[in-house]
Amino acid sequence: MASYDVIVIGVGSMGSAACYYLAKSDVKVLGIEQFGIPHENGSHAGQSRIIRKAYFEHPDYVPLLERAYHNWKQLEAETGTQLYFPTGLLYAGKADGILIKGVKESARQYNINIETINHTESKNRFPSFTIPLDFEILFEPNAGFLTPERCILSFTELAIKAGATIHTHEQLVSWKQDGSVITVQTTKQTYSCKKLIITTGAWTSHVLPNMQPQLSVTRQVVVWGTPQQWDNFIQRNFPCWLIDDAQQPGMYYGFPILPVSQIGGSIGLKAAYHYPGKPTDANRVDRTITPTEETELVKSVRQYLPTGFNSIHLSKICLYTNTPDENFIMDFLPENNNVVVAAGFSGHGFKFASVVGEVLSDLALKGETTMPIEFLNLNRFNK
């Protein structure tokens, strides 16, 4: 039976980063991924992920984001590949809504550069947007997007170079702990390890059934469209954006058109709705998008970008794994310092992958982390 210091189950966003940090620490690490790396069945596909620092969700995330930005930069330097694209991010919403209030609060507490934009200035700087006059507009210049597939490939490639073993198309079937030894059974082999890291995204409640009450998986629709004038929406002329809709509980968001000949992925202008969609099971996802789902999304987005989506040429399903409070879970399993889990990223986790990987590696190898992650513990659900 092959034996490892650490086995990582799930080599997606968080697992690939964990493999990288573990391999750099000179331990014997095995990453096991049920599909290829990357793939379109989980939560990381779709070419782009927003990264921002004035975190409306909670200011406690900001120190993690500071570290995440630092780590992404380091990864770029090591690979010689651009992974983070600083386009700036336009926020709009009612002044007393959770987005605008939350962005201002994080910016105030952590001194993050945020510009307040009046409607006249917005028309000049961001002519493609139509923002309701009762909305406030903010701009975060040091926000932008990451290219998730390239990030995951970079982490995986560097992990392998540093000595990690990565197995694809191999699925965890079960694991059991006997004293200080953990035995891992997959569809292909049996392994043993001292520490286990579980980063199985939307499949986590299959791997850890006790966590089922804390994790609900939803299907999220993403569209790519063709605008009236292509060049108005390319990266040079158009930022990432996040708009707190006054009529609906969630937020609409999108990206500029990316140069697919360099970056890969889908052609066109991308937009989606950040709010838990229809509940699903990761093993039985209905990936057929109904005309109504597409039409409703585009109708809402057109309120803010009237010339952005003349037609839609592609729509896809991606999965969110939501916790009850929409905050992540990063912790040891209860009463078990040998098994670490990172899950429930609730549709906003990718930007953190570079710090999550480092934290997971520290938890597995040192039993602790210097990063402030107490608010992401599992215990909070028992209170």
- Please report, as ranges, the residues that interact with ligand FAD according to CB under 6 A: 9-10, 12-15, 32-35, 42-44, 46, 49-50, 171-172, 199-201, 203, 207, 220, 222, 272, 318-320, 343, 345, 347-351
Residue whose CB is less far from ligand FAD, 82 or 187? 187
370 class by beta-carbon count within 10 Å (0-12 exposed, 13-18 middle, 19+ buried):
exposed
At residue 318, φ and ψ (nearest 5 deg) are -130, 160
Q: What is the DSSP string of 261-319?
A: HHH-S--SEEEEEES--EE--TTS---PPPHHHHHHHHHHHHHH-TTT-SEEEEEEEEE
Instruction: Give the shortest CB-219-to-ligand FAD separation in angstroms.
Output: 9
Cβ 286 vs Cβ 267: under 8 Å? no
Query: 269 - beta bridge partners?
Result: 225
Residue whose CB is less far from ligand FAD, 65 or 107? 65
Residue whose CB is less far from ligand FAD, 126 or 345? 345
3-state DSSP: the chain helix, strand, coil percent, rounded to 5? 35, 30, 35
Residue whose CB is less far from ligand FAD, 256 or 349? 349
User: In this structure, which amino acid lies at residue 182?
Assistant: I
Instruction: Give the shortest CB-319-to-ligand FAD separation in angstroms.
Output: 5
Q: How far is CA 31 from CA 5, 16, 144, 186, 268, in A?
A: 11, 8, 29, 12, 34
Residue nearest to ligand FAD (CB): 12
The count of C-alpha atoms lying within 13 angstroms of the C-alpha of 48, restricted to the half-sphere facing its C-beta, is 30
Instruction: Give the shortest CB-171-to-ligand FAD separation in angstroms.
Output: 4
Residue whose CB is less far from ligand FAD, 228 or 290? 290
Instruction: Give the shortest CB-121-to-ligand FAD separation in angstroms.
Output: 25
Residue whose CB is less far from ligand FAD, 42 or 102? 42
Beta strands at 278-279 and 269-274: parallel, antiparallel or unpaired: unpaired
Which of 233, 278, 270, 232 has its CA nearest to residue 253?
Answer: 270
Q: Could you give the maximum distance between any two Cα atoms of the chain, in Å?
A: 68
The count of C-alpha atoms lying within 13 angstroms of the C-alpha of 162, restricted to the half-sphere facing its C-beta, is 23
Instruction: Give the shortest CB-277-to-ligand FAD separation in angstroms.
Output: 9
Q: CB-based contacts of 147: which residues, under 8 Å, 6+ apart? A: 47, 48, 49, 83, 85, 263, 265
Residue whose CB is less far from ligand FAD, 11 or 138? 11
Residue whose CB is less far from ligand FAD, 126 or 255? 255
Alpha-carbon distance 233 to 254, whole Å?
11
Instruction: Give the shortest CB-170-to-ligand FAD separation in angstroms.
Output: 7
Phi-psi region of 296 (alpha: psi -120 to 50; beta: other; left: phi over 0): alpha
Instruction: Give the shortest CB-347-to-ligand FAD separation in angstroms.
Output: 5
Residue whose CB is less far from ligand FAD, 122 or 205? 205
Q: How far is CA 280 from CA 207, 220, 247, 381, in A?
A: 16, 10, 25, 22
Residue for token pair 């009463």: 335
Residue whose CB is less far from ligand FAD, 207 or 211? 207
Instruction: Give the shortest CB-124-to-ligand FAD separation in angstroms.
Output: 27
